[in-house]
């Protein structure tokens, strides 16, 4: 048996999917978290379930909504599980009336009834079931209630459903008449002909014109409006049968919004919240973790080294394990505590319902720059990781705003760039580290806004039009989901350290320990890596104002994963190390000893804003659906970073000369 | 008058939908913006645009440029 899960955006679809399957898909509190279909098996059954992106109707508006419509019309399945957000029941049932047109078995799950009851409203599921002639089950996806009843209702479905009459008789008669000459999805397609929905199909039906003309002369309105109107009428005129209201008063969300969306407070509150997130993850915890780097790595390295020496292992093997693997992977793993804090903050922001508000009050500003208020969601998600950030752009209706957002999301420093920021700022700026990190985030914002203007002027010409967003109710973040979400993200970071970073570290170790004649133990300046880096160091000279093969190669390896920059630097510094004093990476006489606060800053600017990692480039390509556009975007990012970093070094050193 | 002429918390009923862009028009209809629907402006973004309107028991944010295309009468 195959079930597909359909509902409005932000109706708790994915929460229900997770409860039913025991899986842990991403949930959030803004419309459009699910952007692609996901499949699973309902626990202790053999029922297959497919989670489809949220839709408001079967007339798709954005690319991810099209996925759902096309699935429902063209694929094979047995039951539609329609989840309804009881707190906006009219609009939710509108979708239900469209699903009923498909002539499939429908089971309705009434979600968030507890939230509704708090507001003083009640839904009578029995009456609603009688009205729609399908089973209606009250559930709470969050509290895991009513799930067994729901599974039983799904099991008991047999293909016997007949559409109920929703419209006035003349429309219903026209549907019947048109259906005779339609092959599949009869009722749905007949309605599309009546609506004259040219976006969906060009009608070649023989009787269509006459029927449409007749209906038009009766209603004197475009039929798409009449159909939408009658669907809502069907829902509203029966509402007192299934819906009961105790009282009508201002909701808690409205009260909170009076402060959060206050004319004068909204933007200061936003800045405060974002600053707090980065103060917590970069400033407070960051300094501790960096102190831990050298200590922990050295501790582990020394003991392993002693161990291996005592059993007379090959010197190259000892070096591979200690200087390559432990140093490279360890350098990255030290940032885990910091990432946990960042991921918790982002996860809470996502689930509480604040994201949609930020989008709402920043829309006007963003529109001036050719972006949509909805662009802020990819940006904030992107501060965790660009890949899901870029994917979230699918909820942006306008194609130009969407493309601009995809191109700009990688400029947001993601969690993998955090190790770079932390490493440099704590060493070179000490107690001002958090301020310098913050300046990089602000620089990111400035770059994004200026790039958006440039793109709007030269590349994505034209005005933006559409913006439709539903403001969700505020919710207390569920501890369960936040912790699962954070664990999953941290785990994927650790897995990356164990796979990609692991292999890369070995590679860096190999290339910097061997010469072209494959002789082991040559001075690092004669290694393969150094000879490659020495050539590349010339074009890289303006960025740091220094010919340094080691930092050139490290920056380049950031393409694999941005945290690899830190990992490569540790491996190279470790191999080149002659004197053991203080910091491992930035030791005075060491290979990276030339870094000054100025060149450290411009190096960070280059690494942060140039081409993102391969994963993010792949995500860009998927969303652009064009290799050429992707290439242009990456070239633009890299060129911009190069110019900016060179400017900082150039102008900065000039100023230094005069003071 | 159009929806953007409404004062905060003023109730009105939609009288005509003049949206030219067909995709947007469809979406508005699907979201329950049909003639005869009672609407109310409940929140205004701090910078004056977009607006948050309540209709059919839920809230929806739209830009002023979109709401200007919807005629309504105060009730």
Question: pLDDT at position A249, please?
Answer: 58
Question: pLDDT at position B61, please?
Answer: 92
Helix (H, G, I), strand (E, B) or coil at B13: strand
Provide the sign of the torsion angle of the four alpha carbons A138, A141, A146, A149, taken in this order. Answer: positive
Q: Do B49 and A360 touch (CB under 8 A)?
A: no
Is a pLDDT exceeding 60 seen at residue A464?
A: no
Closest to A429 measured CA to CA, from A287, A299, A273: A287
Is a pLDDT exceeding 70 seen at residue A604?
A: yes
Q: A–B: how many Cβ contacts below 8 A?
A: 120
How many structural domains comprise chain A?
A: 3
Q: Is A107 found in the same domain as A47? A: yes
Is a pLDDT exceeding 80 seen at residue A84?
A: yes
Is a pLDDT exceeding 60 seen at residue A579?
A: no
Is a pLDDT exceeding 90 seen at residue A520?
A: no
Cβ-proximal residues to A207 (8 Å cutoff; 6+ apart), any chain: A177, A178, A181
Is a pLDDT exceeding 70 seen at residue A534?
A: yes
SS (H, E, C) A501-520: HHHHHHHHHHHHHECCCCCE
Helix (H, G, I), strand (E, B) or coil at A369: coil
**Sheet containing A136-138: order of strands:** A38-41, A48-51, A2-7, A79-85, A105-111, A136-138
Q: Do B63 and A361 touch (CB under 8 A)?
A: no
Q: Is A95 found in the same domain as A54? A: yes
Better-scored residue on pLDDT, A359 or A119: A359
- With CA atoms as reference, the chain B residue closest to A85 would be B58
Q: Is A412 exposed, middle or buried (0-12, 13-18, 19+ CB in 10 A)?
A: buried
Residue span of the structural domain in which A175 resides: 169-245
Q: Is A523 found in the same domain as A634? A: yes
Q: What residues pair up with A292 in beta bridges, in sequence order?
A: none
Mean pLDDT value across residues A161-190: 85
Is a pLDDT exceeding 80 seen at residue A485?
A: yes
Q: What domains can you pick out in chain B, each with its CATH number?
A: 3-74 (2.30.30.90)
Specify the CATH number for the domain of residue A13: 3.40.50.300
- Peptide bond preceding B50 in cis form (omega within 30 of 0): yes
Question: pLDDT at position A651, please?
Answer: 92
Most A CBs within 10 Å: which of B16, B38, B48, B56, as the mutation test of the A interface? B56
B65 to chain A: which residues are within 8 Å by CB? 465
Most A CBs within 10 Å: which of B50, B53, B66, as the mutation test of the A interface? B50
Question: pLDDT at position A28, please?
Answer: 66
Helix (H, G, I), strand (E, B) or coil at A162: coil
B63 to chain A: which residues are within 8 Å by CB? 363, 367, 466-467
Mean pLDDT value across residues A607-612: 92
For A506-519, the pLDDT digits (tens) are 998 899 888 888 88
Mean pLDDT across chain A: 85
- What are the start-end ranges of the H helices in A320-475? 327-333, 336-352, 354-368, 376-382, 386-392, 399-408, 418-429, 433-458
Tally: H helices and E strands in chain A: 31, 9
Inside any domain, residue A100: yes
Q: Is A477 found in the same domain as A427? A: yes
A88 to chain B: which residues are within 8 Å by CB? 56-58
For A353-410, the pLDDT digits (tens) are 898 899 898 888 888 888 888 888 899 888 888 888 898 888 787 788 888 999 999 9
Question: pLDDT at position A518, please?
Answer: 83
Band of residue A645 on the pLDDT scale cut at 50, 70, 90? very high
Q: What percent of chain A has pLDDT over 90?
A: 20
Is a pLDDT exceeding 50 seen at residue A581?
A: no
Of A199, A263, A364, the CB nearest to B23: A199
Of B34, B45, B62, the CB nearest to A361: B45
Q: Do A466 and B25 touch (CB under 8 A)?
A: no
Is a pLDDT exceeding 90 seen at residue B48?
A: no
Band of residue A646 on the pLDDT scale cut at 50, 70, 90? very high
Q: Is A538 found in the same domain as A425? A: yes
- Report the DSSP pairing between strands A79-85 and A2-7: parallel
Measured distance between the N- and C-terminal CA atoms of chain A, rounded to whole angstroms: 77
Closest to A510 measured CA to CA, from A529, A537, A489, A523: A529
Q: How far is CA A163 from the centre of its chain?
A: 38
Last residue of a domain, one of A186, A211, A245: A245
Closest to A308 measured CA to CA, from A300, A299, A317: A317
Specify the CATH number for the domain of residue A234: 1.10.287
Better-scored residue on pLDDT, B41 or A323: B41
The tokens 């947007």 sit on which residue?
Answer: B24
For A21-36, the pLDDT digits (tens) are 887 776 666 666 666 7
Tokens of A466: 């559409």
Mean pLDDT value across residues A609-630: 90
Tell me the residues of chain B between 36 and 65 that have a Cβ less than 8 Å away from chain A.
36-37, 42-43, 45-50, 52, 56-63, 65
Q: Do B35 and A264 touch (CB under 8 A)?
A: no
Q: Do A59 and B27 touch (CB under 8 A)?
A: yes
Most B CBs within 10 Å: which of A360, A372, A373, as the mutation test of the B interface? A360
Last residue of a domain, one of A92, A125, A155: A155
Of A59, A94, A262, the CB nearest to B46: A262
What is the distance between the alpha carbons of residues A412 and A402, in angstroms, rounded to a whole number?
A: 16
Inside any domain, residue A26: yes
Band of residue A582 on the pLDDT scale cut at 50, 70, 90? very low
B49 to chain A: which residues are within 8 Å by CB? 363-364
For A99-116, the pLDDT digits (tens) are 999 888 999 999 988 877
Q: What residues pair up with B40 in beta bridges, in sequence order?
A: B11, B54
Of B24, B28, B32, the CB nearest to A94: B32
Cβ-proximal residues to B17 (8 Å cutoff; 6+ apart), any chain: A225, B25, B28, B29, B33, B34, B35, B69, B70, B71
Q: Is A408 found in the same domain as A284? A: yes
Of B25, B50, B56, the CB nearest to A363: B50
Better-scored residue on pLDDT, A577 or A177: A177
Is a pLDDT exceeding 90 seen at residue A498?
A: no
Mean pLDDT value across residues A494-504: 87
Q: What share of chain A is helix, strand, coil (3-state, %, to 5)?
A: 65, 5, 30
Is a pLDDT exceeding 60 seen at residue A217?
A: yes
Cβ-proximal residues to A503 (8 Å cutoff; 6+ apart), any chain: none
A465 to chain B: which residues are within 8 Å by CB? 21, 24, 65-66
Residues A164, A167, A170: CA angle, nearest 5 degrees: 115
Q: What residues pair up with A39 in beta bridges, in sequence order?
A: A50
For A289-339, the pLDDT digits (tens) are 656 666 777 788 888 888 888 888 888 888 888 888 888 888 788 778 888
DSSP string, A394-432: GG--SHHHHHHHHHHGGGS--TTTHHHHHHHHHHHHGGG
Question: pLDDT at position B68, please?
Answer: 92
Candidate from A378-392, A528-542, A557-571, A581-595 with smallest mean pLDDT: A581-595
Inside any domain, residue A369: yes
Inside any domain, residue A261: no
What is the distance between the alpha carbons of residues A455 and A452, in angstroms, rounded to a whole number?
A: 5
A101 to chain B: which residues are within 8 Å by CB? none
B11 to chain A: which residues are within 8 Å by CB? none
Of B25, B34, B52, the CB nearest to A360: B52
- Report the DSSP pairing between strands B58-62 and A468-470: antiparallel
B43 to chain A: which residues are within 8 Å by CB? 257, 261, 360, 471
Q: Is A606 found in the same domain as A501? A: yes
Question: pLDDT at position A437, please?
Answer: 85
Of B24, B29, B45, the CB nearest to A224: B29
Q: Is A138 found in the same domain as A200? A: no
């Amino acid at each position: 048996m195959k079930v597909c899960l359909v509902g409005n955006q932000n109706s708790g679809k994915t929460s229900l999917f997770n409860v039913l399957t025991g899986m842990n898909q991403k949930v959030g509190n803004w419309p459009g978290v699910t952007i692609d279909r996901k499949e699973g098996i309902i626990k202790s059954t053999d029922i297959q379930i497919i989670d489809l992106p949220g839709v408001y109707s079967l007339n798709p508006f954005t690319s991810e909504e099209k996925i759902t419509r096309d699935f429902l019309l063209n694929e094979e399945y047995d039951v539609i599980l329609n989840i309804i957000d009881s707190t906006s029941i009219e609009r939710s049932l509108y979708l239900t009336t469209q699903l009923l047109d498909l002539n499939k078995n429908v089971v309705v799950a009434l979600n968030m009834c507890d939230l509704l009851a708090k507001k003083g409203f009640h839904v009578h599921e029995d009456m609603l079931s009688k009205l729609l002639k399908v089973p209606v089950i009250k559930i709470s996806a969050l509290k895991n209630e009513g799930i067994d009843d729901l599974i039983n209702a799904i099991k008991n479905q047999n293909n016997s459903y007949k559409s109920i009459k929703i419209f006035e008789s003349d429309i219903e008669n026209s549907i019947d008449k048109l259906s005779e000459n339609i092959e599949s999805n009869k009722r749905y397609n007949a309605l599309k002909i009546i609506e004259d929905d040219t976006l969906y199909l060009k009608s070649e039906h023989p009787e269509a014109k006459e029927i449409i003309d007749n209906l038009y002369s009766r209603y004197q309105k475009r039929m798409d409006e009449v159909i939408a109107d009658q669907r809502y009428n069907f829902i509203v005129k029966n509402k007192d049968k299934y819906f009961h209201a105790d009282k009508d008063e201002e909701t808690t969300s409205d009260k909170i919004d009076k402060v959060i969306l206050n004319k004068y407070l909204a933007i200061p509150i936003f800045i405060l919240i974002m600053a707090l997130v980065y103060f917590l993850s970069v400033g407070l915890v960051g300094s501790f973790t960096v102190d831990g780097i050298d200590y922990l790595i050295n501790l582990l390295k020394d003991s392993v080294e002693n161990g291996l020496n005592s059993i007379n292992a090959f010197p190259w093997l000892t070096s591979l394990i200690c200087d390559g693997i432990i140093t490279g992977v360890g350098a990255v793993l030290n940032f885990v505590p910091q990432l946990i804090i960042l991921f918790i903050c982002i996860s809470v922001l996502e689930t509480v319902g604040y994201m949609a508000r930020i989008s709402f009050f920043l829309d006007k500003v963003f529109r001036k720059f050719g972006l949509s208020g909805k662009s802020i969601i990819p940006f904030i998600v992107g501060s965790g990781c660009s890949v899901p950030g870029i994917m979230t752009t699918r909820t942006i209706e306008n194609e130009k705003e969407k493309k601009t957002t995809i191109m700009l999301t990688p400029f947001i420093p993601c969690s993998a760039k955090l190790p770079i920021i932390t490493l440099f700022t704590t060493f070179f700026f000490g107690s001002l580290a958090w301020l310098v990190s913050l300046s990089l985030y602000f620089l990111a914002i400035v770059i994004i806004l200026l790039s958006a203007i440039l793109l709007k002027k030269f590349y994505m010409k034209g005005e933006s039009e559409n913006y439709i967003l539903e403001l969700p109710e505020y919710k207390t973040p569920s501890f369960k989901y936040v912790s699962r979400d954070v664990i999953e993200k941290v785990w994927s970071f650790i897995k990356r350290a164990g796979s990609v970073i692991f292999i890369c570290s070995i590679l860096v170790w190999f290339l910097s320990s061997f010469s072209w004649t494959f002789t082991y133990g040559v001075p690092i300046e004669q290694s393969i890596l150094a000879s490659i880096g020495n050539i590349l160091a010339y074009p890289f000279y303006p960025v740091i104002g220094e010919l340094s093969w080691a930092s050139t190669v490290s920056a380049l390896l950031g393409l694999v994963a941005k945290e690899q920059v830190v990992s490569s630097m540790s491996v190279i510094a470790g191999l080149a190390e002659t004197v053991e004093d203080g910091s491992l990476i930035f030791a005075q006489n060491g290979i990276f000893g030339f870094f000054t606060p100025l060149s450290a800053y411009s190096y960070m600017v280059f690494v942060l804003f140039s081409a993102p990692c391969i994963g993010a480039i792949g995500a860009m390509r998927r969303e652009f659906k064009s290799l050429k556009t992707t290439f242009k975007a990456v070239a633009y990012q890299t060129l911009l970073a190069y110019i900016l970093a060179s400017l900082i070094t150039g102008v900065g050193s000039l100023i230094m000369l005069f003071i | 008058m159009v929806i953007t002429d409404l004062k905060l918390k003023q109730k009105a009923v939609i009288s005509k939908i003049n949206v030219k862009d067909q995709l947007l028009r469809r979406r508005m209809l699907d979201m329950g913006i049909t003639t005869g629907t009672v609407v109310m402006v409940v929140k205004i973004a701090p910078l004056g645009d977009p607006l948050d309107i309540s209709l059919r028991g839920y809230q929806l944010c739209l830009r002023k440029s979109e709401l200007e295309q919807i005629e309504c009468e105060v009730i």
